[in-house]
């Protein structure tokens, strides 16, 4: 498919349908084509947003599948500007995943058109009753837990074909795509010739606690200091310091939140983290792992041992920066 006929495009103004309209699209598990409509999404019914992008390639995380690239089986999934999961109905998960939206849950509108009436309370209640949050006593049920049911693994050839497709459909400029592929190719060659970067020498990596609070300013430690906290595989107690994170060294960021618990892709298990925070504007795009990068825009996890407190300096960063994965 070389064009997006009738599909939502980045920048389109859309409205989330009413609770009753969405309920009519769901099966007994509260899913449409196996993609859950989560309780955290109900509050957006009747509200308007801009489409940020169509969902193409994306990484999945987890101990056995980190770096695996997948895509949805159907080309009808989009993301909306600044709409992330609060985790309120899923044990307080702090992963803040970008929410995936089937096009059947949205309608295209114009800025001058009148907004649909917000769902009545009883409509929202009926919708919530259909939505489940647990698949079994020790596993949560959400979009992240069901990713493997709604996506297919992409071969390297498929990923490169997807890069061409995104350029041809106007989702990415040709120059930008060439830059992304060049970054991936450089790190692929470097990794094969010189091994993982960055990495350290520790088999048992150190920990450190700053007890950071949201709103505090921190400076990312120099690479030399960070390497002293890493294993030969570039991990600190299972959390990677990715090559692109080196670009943040010496720069200052504001703490967004502490990250203590996140739901794992595919399994729905809650993973518990210690001494870890997210920083404002720090999102993952994975250009060093896969050609063309990732559209999922996960938040980056930072160990406190990689940071130090500081006051607001001239080098403070408020925009998107470097990636990392657990």
Shared domain check, 21 and 93: yes
Domain annotation covers residue 182: no
Higher pLDDT, 279 or 326: 279
Domain annotation covers residue 162: no
**What is the rounded average pLDDT for all residues in the chain?**
87
Output the 3-class SS for the chain: CCCCCCCCCCCCEEEECCHHHHHCCCCCCCEECCEECCHHHHHHCCCEEEEEEECCCEEECCCCCCCEEEEECCCCEEEECCCECCCCCCCCCCCCCECCEEHHHEEECCCCCCCCCCCCHHHHHHHHHHCCCEEECCEECCCCCCHHHHEEECCHHHHHHHHHHHHHCCCCCHHHHHHHHHHHHHHHHHHHHHCCCCCCCCCCCCCCCCCCCCCCEEEECCHHHHHCCCCCCCEECCEECCHHHHHHCCCEEEEEEECCEEECCCCCCEEECCCEEEECCCECCCCCCCCCCCCCCCECCEEHHHEEECCCCCCEECCCCCCCCC
Confidence of residue 326 (pLDDT cuts 50, 70, 90): very low
Contact 171, 10 (CB under 8 A): yes
Give me 142's structure tokens. Answer: 């959400």
Give me 56's structure tokens. Answer: 């193409």
Q: What is the mean pLDDT of residues 186-195?
A: 85
pTM for this entry: 0.85
pLDDT-wise least confident of 16-20, 212-216, 222-226, 236-240: 236-240
Last residue of a domain, one of 153, 173, 194: 153
Q: Which of left, alpha, beta for 36 (phi over 0: left; psi -120 to 50: alpha)?
A: beta
Higher pLDDT, 51 or 194: 51
Shared domain check, 222 and 115: no
Cα–Cα distances in angstroms (integers) from residue 234 to residues 62, 117, 191, 243, 289, in the given order:
16, 52, 12, 9, 14
Domain annotation covers residue 187: no
Shared domain check, 234 and 132: no
Shared domain check, 137 and 55: yes
Domain annotation covers residue 160: no
Shared domain check, 135 and 28: yes
Q: What is the mean pLDDT of residues 20-43?
A: 97
φ, ψ of residue 128 to 5 degrees: the values are: -60, -35
Confidence of residue 194 (pLDDT cuts 50, 70, 90): confident
Domain annotation covers residue 17: yes
Determine the Cα–Cα distance for residues 25 and 37; give it in Å rounded to an integer.
Answer: 10
**CA 246, 290, 12 angle in degrees (round to 5)?**
100
pLDDT at 318 > cutoff 60: no
Shared domain check, 137 and 245: no
Supply the pLDDT for residue 322.
42
Last residue of a domain, one of 153, 181, 199: 153
Shared domain check, 309 and 222: yes
Contact 312, 206 (CB under 8 A): no
Supply the pLDDT for residue 304.
98
Last residue of a domain, one of 133, 153, 173: 153
* Residue 133 structural domain: 13-153
Higher pLDDT, 69 or 274: 274
pLDDT at 283 > cutoff 80: yes
Structure confidence by residue, pLDDT tens digits, 42-60? 999 999 999 998 887 788 8
Shared domain check, 47 and 143: yes
Q: Report the share of the chain in percent with pLDDT over 70.
A: 90
pLDDT at 239 > cutoff 80: yes
pLDDT at 30 > cutoff 90: yes
Q: Report the share of the chain in percent with pLDDT over 90.
A: 54
Supply the pLDDT for residue 116.
57
Higher pLDDT, 322 or 156: 156
Structure confidence by residue, pLDDT tens digits, 80-102? 998 999 999 999 999 999 999 99
pLDDT at 130 > cutoff 50: yes
Shared domain check, 230 and 305: yes
Confidence of residue 187 (pLDDT cuts 50, 70, 90): confident
Domain annotation covers residue 180: no
Shared domain check, 222 and 126: no
**CA 244, 94, 224 angle in degrees (round to 5)?**
30
Domain count within the chain: 2
Shared domain check, 226 and 124: no
Structure confidence by residue, pLDDT tens digits, 3-29? 444 589 889 999 999 999 999 999 999
**CA 235, 195, 192 angle in degrees (round to 5)?**
135
Determine the Cα–Cα distance for residues 101 and 20; give it in Å rounded to an integer.
Answer: 16
Domain annotation covers residue 181: no
Domain annotation covers residue 183: no
Shared domain check, 140 and 247: no
Considering 56-70, 103-117, 206-220, 230-244, the range whose residues carry the highest mean pLDDT is: 206-220
pLDDT at 317 > cutoff 70: no
Confidence of residue 324 (pLDDT cuts 50, 70, 90): very low
pLDDT at 233 > cutoff 50: yes
Supply the pLDDT for residue 73.
87
Confidence of residue 1 (pLDDT cuts 50, 70, 90): very low
Confidence of residue 321 (pLDDT cuts 50, 70, 90): very low
Q: What letters, b where the CB count within 10 A reaches 16 and e where it falls short, cover 116-136?
A: beebeeebbeebeebbbbeee
Cis previous bond, 198, omega within 30:
yes
């Amino acid at each position: 498919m070389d064009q997006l006929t009738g599909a939502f495009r980045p920048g389109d103004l859309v409205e989330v349908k009413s609770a009753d309209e969405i309920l009519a699209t769901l099966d007994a598990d509260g899913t449409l084509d196996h993609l859950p409509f989560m309780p955290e999404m109900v509050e957006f019914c009747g509200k308007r947003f801009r489409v940020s992008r169509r969902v193409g390639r994306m990484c999945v995380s987890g101990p056995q599948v980190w770096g695996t690239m997948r895509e949805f089986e159907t080309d009808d999934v989009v993301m909306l500007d600044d709409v992330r999961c609060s985790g309120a109905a899923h044990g307080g998960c702090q992963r803040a995943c970008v929410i995936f939206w089937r096009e059947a849950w949205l309608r295209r509108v114009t800025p001058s058109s009148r907004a649909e009436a917000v769902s009545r309370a009883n409509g929202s209640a009926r919708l919530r009753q259909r939505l489940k949050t647990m698949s079994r006593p020790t596993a949560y049920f959400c979009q992240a837990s069901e990713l493997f049911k709604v996506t297919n693994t992409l071969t390297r050839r498929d990923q490169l074909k997807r890069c061409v497709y995104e350029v041809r459909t106007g989702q990415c400029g040709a120059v930008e795509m060439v830059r992304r592929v060049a970054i991936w190719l450089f790190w692929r060659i470097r990794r094969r010739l010189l091994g993982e970067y960055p990495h350290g020498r520790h088999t048992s990596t150190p920990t450190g606690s700053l007890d950071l609070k949201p709103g505090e300013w921190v400076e990312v430690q120099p690479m030399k200091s960070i390497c002293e906290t890493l294993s030969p595989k570039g991990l600190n107690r299972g959390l990677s310091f990715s090559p692109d994170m080196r670009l943040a060294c010496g720069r200052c960021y504001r703490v967004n939140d502490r990250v203590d618990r996140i739901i794992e892709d595919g399994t729905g298990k809650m993973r518990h983290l210690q001494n870890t925070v997210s920083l404002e504007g720090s999102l993952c795009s994975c250009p060093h792992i896969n050609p063309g990068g990732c559209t999922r825009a996960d938040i980056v996890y930072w160990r406190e041992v990689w940071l130090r407190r500081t006051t607001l300096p001239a080098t403070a960063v408020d925009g998107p920066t470097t990636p990392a994965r657990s």
